[in-house]
Amino acid sequence: MKIVVIQGPNLNMLGVREQNIYGPMKLDDVHAQMEEYAKQNGVEIEFFQSNLEGEIVDRIQECLGDADGIIINPAAYTHTSIAIRDAIAAVQIPTVEVHLSNIHQREEFRQTSLIAPVCAGQIVGFGPFSYHLAMISIVQIMREIAAMKEAQAGQQAQAALQGN
């Protein structure tokens, strides 16, 4: 199983920018914690960060056939990007949206996510721990999908044996 973590604009500035909102932890530290969880759960993980909307759309599309789950923090694009929303909808890969701050408690323009309706879920407001919760969520979703596919394959095999 493989997870791709996609980080949007300004997340490369974690630990520097607005620590009162986003905290002192750097993005590399967040990724190191996620990598540790992935190792403990036998999951491959890959990280991508871009400040450019088109690059994020390209990376989502590249996940098709390559990833089993996506964790995305679209950052400011959460509220503006129909392109990112459409890319997630197009690839049909289970996706969890994550935010360090609680976007629902912030400025009005930050309270609407264009991305959430095409995601399996949204985790907000727990600081860096939001990413850990997203990891737990996406791994569980991927395991449930794998179990369902395995059960369907077993039923098909049994049906084929009974049909012969």
By annotation, the residues acting in catalysis are 22, 99
* Cα separation of the two ends of the chain: 34
Cβ-based burial of 120 (10 A; exposed 0-12, middle 13-18, buried ≥19): middle
Best CA proximity match to 40, nearest among 105, 161, 110, 136 = 136
Strands 95-99 and 2-7, by their bridges, are unpaired
Rounded to whole angstroms, the Cα distance separating 93 from 11 reads 23
